[in-house]
Amino acid sequence: MDNPGVVGAFYLLAGVTVLSSLAVFAVRNLLHAVVFLVLAFVGMAGIFITLSADFLAVAQILIYAGAVSILLVFAVMLTPLGDRNNANSLFVLPGVAVAGGFATIVALVAVATDWNVLSEDDLDARSFATTIADIGQALLGPYVLAFEVASVLLLAALIGAIVLVREEERA
Amino acid sequence: MTFEELKPFIVPGLPHYLALSGQVFAIGILIALAKRNAIAVLMGVELMLNATNLAFLAFARFVPNAADTPALAGHVFVVFILTVAAAEAAVALAMAVLVYRRRETVDLDRLNLLRW
Amino acid sequence: MRIPLLFGMLLDTAKDAPESFPSGTRHRVVRVPMPGLRLIGLAVLAVVIAANVGIGVIVVGGALDDQWYDFRDLGNTMDGLRSVLPECMASMGDTCVVPGAYVGYLTAAILGGTAILSFVGVLLVILVWSERRLLARFQVRRGPNRVGPYGLLQPLADAIKMMQKETVIPRGADRFLYYLPPVIVFIPLMLLWGAVPWAPKMTYVDLNVGVLYLVAVTSLTTLAIFLAGWSSNNHYGLLGAMRTVAMMVSYEIPISISLLTIVLFTGSLQLTDIVRWQGEHNVWFAFLLPLPLFSFFFSSTAELNRSPNDIAEAESEIVAGYYTEYSGMKMGLYLAGELGYATATSAFVSALFLGGWTLFGLETWIPGYLILGGKIAFVYFVLVWMRATLPRFRLDQLMAFAWKYLIPLSIASVVLVALEVTLFARWDVPGVVPLVLFAIVNFIFARVAMRRWATVLGYQPELQANAPVMTSGIGGLRAARALRQAEGTR
């Protein structure tokens, strides 16, 4: 974990992710916000790679940057021009307070807790060569019920989305 | 201070990843709370889910797993979160479009039918 | 199609072009192709091939292996750098903040990145020329043949022209989103070329998740194209963008499913593993999985916005689709990106379905990248051929084709392949026998299922025109020359 490539990549990607998430909050135009959100997702995928989670990094790009972002853009397009600003509601100050407090608490807890982490050697041994086969085994082994339920959930979401936005046919 | 002394602070470990996850989650909360547009709120929720994924993966990487669970249990969790996030995005955006059709706005401050 | 004709299409000298225009006109022929240049070109080609073969024979003593055999091999260069540089750095002692191994990685990364960038750049220059040239031959024209020998310098002239043009930004355009897409479109292209497996150790990045990586990276362009169409504040642009997104989202599904059939056989998502599997079993997936090949290839043309699926920029319907409002080098970037994607897709079709660097044992004698290069050229030629031959689909036809035809058939073939893989794992006979059997079964399945399903969906062959009659007399310049002679005699 202590090689300079990973260290540099972590800080670079963390900076990109946090800054572009902030930009999602700050920019005025909703479509620009979507673009920055995609950048945040891609940065997050890079951070997944530093955690040697190659499969999930690619899946993250495929699902978030490829699919969810398109959905978001479409939703923005289907709503009227006047609503395409990224305006704030009345909750900005409470929001900032809650978010700041949350971030501070999480950071303090993360630093102060004495985590039961693996030793350096174990960490090196655990830099997963490839995770795909193991994830597949786990999904169809101990977690097969959840896997099946997830497929039912996806089907339900598919049908639900179609039913929701279907135009009633007028005779 | 030499490099060796600084090393635990500089080299990213579990606290670094958790703090980053917390920050992104906080920004997600901020966006979800402070935006008027329903779609922007959804973006905040997506960011929060992403931050959760990061925390799961960090734990899967750094913390020894319990005896009877596979080493990649955290990864499996993230797979399910990704699935649910995709489904949720599809349904929520469909609802946003539907709300716009009925009420001609997606401004959450003006969706106040239930207010008394 | 006769092979000599195929090559002759590219390098046909303009023998019967007028040497000069009639006197009295102010036009002059800028450059008449040098006679005998074809010979020079062939000689250069022969020398290159001979040098390659010679190096292979001399350096390796007959057989190329996986070792440090060859200075041309980028992958080996990377490996060598990674192993050599840490030793140099180790002499500096513990004061060194940056351990040496990573200098090796960094150098290798920079070198490899530069190599890919320059490779794609050169490739685009050649592609512009060869595509125009081939299209012209298909349409019984000559194509660019004025600037430089055989018109080879035409792409340079085009590029200079495009760079000089003014970039016009439409009024009301969203500037940030208008400038972004031409850049974004190029990033996935480079990422794709980085994953091409040229030879056993000659891959810039050999990812464990290679196949998934392909799907993920190509899905990134959708957003760029959509933003391009939206931000230019133009109805045609928006229409093109909407069409692109609808098409790309639909056609990602058959692509993924047909890749799944391959992964079922190989049990690995790594591209080199997939190529190696084909080499070991001496079978290409094109023979083994004809239906997924069709599905993948057709869906790829949709993802690439190429004919017959180029409805996103259908110039006879919506001007130029998503890049209607782009001009100058920005439009050039879109055009170049399109060509680059087409060749990258050809590379992956070759690697996944046509055996990559393997050629039934010949790969021990011929460097892998030459074999793969030949396959890429062939697949790219097929793409140009399709562009010149097939008419464009309508949008609704295209969507129906994806959802009602390709996806059900692909899913059916996944079920079939899963059965076969289970059989293959338990069947205790030499690998060739079941594979030949599977190839026959899959071919019959593809033929019958495609036909039957089309009938079920309402395709009525009896209402269509008869199959086109192949007339050997019709075709290209030969026919034109014959016609001209016939007219002369009359």
> Residue A139 and residue B30: Cβ atoms within 8 Å?
no
Give contacts of B57 with chain A, Cβ < 8 Å. Answer: 48, 51, 53, 56
Decide if B64 is inside a domain: yes
C351 close to C196: Cβ distance less than 8 angstroms: yes
Q: What is the per-residue pLDDT across C72-122, written as a single tens digit (0 to 9) for each?
A: 445 555 555 555 555 555 554 444 444 455 565 666 667 777 777 777 878
Mutate to test the interface with A, among B10, B18, B39 (most CBs of A within 10 A): B39
Q: How far is CA A144 from the centre of its chain?
A: 24
B-proximal residues of A, 145-164, CB under 8 Å: 146, 150, 153-154, 156-158, 160-161, 164
- Mean pLDDT of all residues in A80-104: 77
> Between the ranges B23-27, B105-109, C13-17, C94-98, where is the mean pLDDT highest?
B23-27
Alpha-carbon span C104 to C95, nearest angstrom: 18
pLDDT at res. B1: 57
> Between the ranges A80-89, C2-11, C419-428, C468-477, where is the mean pLDDT highest?
C419-428
Decide if B23 is inside a domain: yes
Chains that touch C (3 or more CB pairs under 8 A): A
In chain B, whose CA is at the least distance from the CA of A31? B40
Alpha-carbon span C236 to C453, nearest angstrom: 35
Decide if B116 is inside a domain: no
Give contacts of A85 with chain C, Cβ < 8 Å. Answer: none
> Residue A88 and residue B36: Cβ atoms within 8 Å?
yes
- B36's tokens: 């008027």
Answer with the residue of higher pLDDT: B102 or C439: C439
- C89's tokens: 């750095």
**Closest by Cα among C144, C135, C345 to C255:** C345
Decide if B42 is inside a domain: yes
> Residue A5 and residue C219: Cβ atoms within 8 Å?
no
> Residue C226 and residue A132: Cβ atoms within 8 Å?
no
Region for residue A167 given its phi and psi (left: phi exceeds 0; alpha: psi -120 to 50; beta: otherwise): beta
CB atoms within 10 A of CB C66: 10
Give the number of domains in chain B.
1
> Residue A7 and residue B12: Cβ atoms within 8 Å?
yes
Answer with the residue of higher pLDDT: C75 or C246: C246
Least confident of A131-135, B23-27, B29-33, C449-453: A131-135
Alpha-carbon span C344 to A107, nearest angstrom: 44
Which residues have CB under 8 Å from C367's CB, separation 6+?
A: C52, C56, C64, C70, C72, C73, C199
- Closest approach of chain B CAs to the CA of A147, in angstroms? 8
Please, which pLDDT band fits residue A124 given cuts at 50, 70 and 90?
A: low
Write down the number of H helices and E strands in chain C: 17, 0
> Residue A129 and residue C208: Cβ atoms within 8 Å?
yes
Please give the radius of gyration of chain C, using alpha carbons only, rounded to the nearest integer. 25
C420 close to C341: Cβ distance less than 8 angstroms: no
How far apart, in Å, are the Cα atoms of C34 and each of C13, C14, C151, C210? 9, 10, 11, 46
Decide if B115 is inside a domain: no
- Mean pLDDT of all residues in A142-163: 89
> Residue A134 and residue B43: Cβ atoms within 8 Å?
no
Give contacts of C102 with chain A, Cβ < 8 Å. Answer: 3-5
Give the number of domains in chain A.
1
Q: Is B6 on the interface with A (CB under 8 A)?
A: no
CB neighbour burial string for B93-106, b if at least 16 within 10 angstroms, e if fewer:
bbbbbebbeeeebb
User: What CATH number corresponds to the domain at position A131?
Assistant: 1.20.120.1200
Q: Which residue has the tokens 């997050």?
A: A44
- Closest approach of chain A CAs to the CA of C204, in angstroms? 17
Q: What is the per-residue pLDDT across C9-37, written as a single tens digit (0 to 9) for each?
A: 455 444 444 444 455 555 444 444 556 66
Alpha-carbon span A38 to A77, nearest angstrom: 17
In chain C, whose CA is at the least distance from the CA of A70? C223
Least confident of A137-141, B77-81, C359-363: C359-363
Degrees (nearest 5) of the Cα angle C96, C101, C104?
110
CB atoms within 10 A of CB C301: 21
C361 close to C278: Cβ distance less than 8 angstroms: no
Answer with the residue of higher pLDDT: A159 or B1: A159
> Residue B107 and residue A83: Cβ atoms within 8 Å?
yes
Please, which pLDDT band fits residue A40 given cuts at 50, 70 and 90?
A: very high
- C253's tokens: 């599904």
**The total number of residues written for chain B in this structure:** 116
In chain A, whose CA is at the least distance from the CA of B74? A135
Q: What is the 3-state secondary structure (H, E, C) of chain A?
A: CCCHHHHHHHHHHHHHHHHHHHHHHHCCEHHHHHHHHHHHHHHHHHHHHHCCCHHHHHHHHHHHHHHHHHHHHHHHHHCCHHHCECCECCCHHHHHHHHHHHHHHHHHHHHHCCCCCCCHHHHHHCCCCCCHHHHHHHHHCCCHHHHHHHHHHHHHHHHHHHHHHCCCCCC
Answer with the residue of higher pLDDT: C107 or B98: B98
Q: What is the per-residue pLDDT across C373-390, written as a single tens digit (0 to 9) for each?
A: 889 989 998 988 888 888
DSSP string for B43-66: HHHHHHHHHHHHHHHHHHHHSPPP
Q: How far is CA C1 from the centre of its chain?
A: 21
Q: What is the DSSP letter of C216?
A: H
Which amino acid appears at position B82 of this protein?
L
Mean pLDDT of chain A: 82
Give contacts of A80 with chain B, Cβ < 8 Å. Answer: 100, 104-105
Q: What is the per-residue pLDDT across A29-39, written as a single tens digit (0 to 9) for each?
A: 888 888 899 99
Give the 3-state secondary structure of residue C104. helix
> Residue B84 and residue A88: Cβ atoms within 8 Å?
no
pLDDT at res. C414: 92
In chain B, whose CA is at the least distance from the CA of A24? B31
Q: Which residue has the tokens 């006047």?
A: A82
- Closest approach of chain C CAs to the CA of A68, in angstroms? 10
Q: Which of A61, A77, A132 sits opposite C269 (nearest CB)?
A: A132
> Residue B36 and residue A89: Cβ atoms within 8 Å?
yes
Interaxial angle between packed helices C235-266 and C271-281, expressed in degrees from 0 to 180 and rounded to the nearest 10: 50
Alpha-carbon span C268 to C448, nearest angstrom: 30
> Residue C223 and residue A58: Cβ atoms within 8 Å?
no
Decide if B90 is inside a domain: yes
Q: Is the ipTM of this complex over 0.90?
A: no
For chain C, the straight-line distance linking the first and the last C-alpha, in angstroms and rounded, comes to: 31
User: What CATH number corresponds to the domain at position B89?
Assistant: 1.10.287.3510
Mutate to test the interface with C, among A54, A62, A68, A137 (most CBs of C within 10 A): A62
CB neighbour burial string for A9-34, b if at least 16 within 10 angstroms, e if fewer:
bbeebbebbbebbbbbbebeebbbbb
C228 close to C241: Cβ distance less than 8 angstroms: yes
Please, which pLDDT band fits residue B25 given cuts at 50, 70 and 90?
A: very high
pLDDT at res. C43: 87
Q: How far is CA C206 from the centre of its chain?
A: 19
> Residue B13 and residue A128: Cβ atoms within 8 Å?
no
Alpha-carbon span C286 to A171, nearest angstrom: 50
Give contacts of A62 with chain C, Cβ < 8 Å. Answer: 212, 215-216, 219
- A22's tokens: 């902030």
- Segments forming the whole domain that contains residue B92: 3-110
Q: Is B9 on the interface with A (CB under 8 A)?
A: no
Q: Is A69 on the interface with B (CB under 8 A)?
A: no
Q: Is A31 on the interface with B (CB under 8 A)?
A: no
Mean pLDDT of chain C: 75
How far apart, in Å, are the Cα atoms of C26 and each of C16, C30, C122, C145, C317? 21, 12, 35, 20, 38
- Segments forming the whole domain that contains residue A116: 4-165
Give contacts of B79 with chain A, Cβ < 8 Å. Answer: 56, 59, 135, 139
Q: What is the per-residue pLDDT across C312-356, written as a single tens digit (0 to 9) for each?
A: 776 777 777 788 888 778 888 888 888 888 888 999 999 899 888
Please give the radius of gyration of chain B, using alpha carbons only, rounded to the nearest integer. 19
Alpha-carbon span B48 to C338, nearest angstrom: 36
Give contacts of A165 with chain B, Cβ < 8 Å. Answer: 94, 97-98
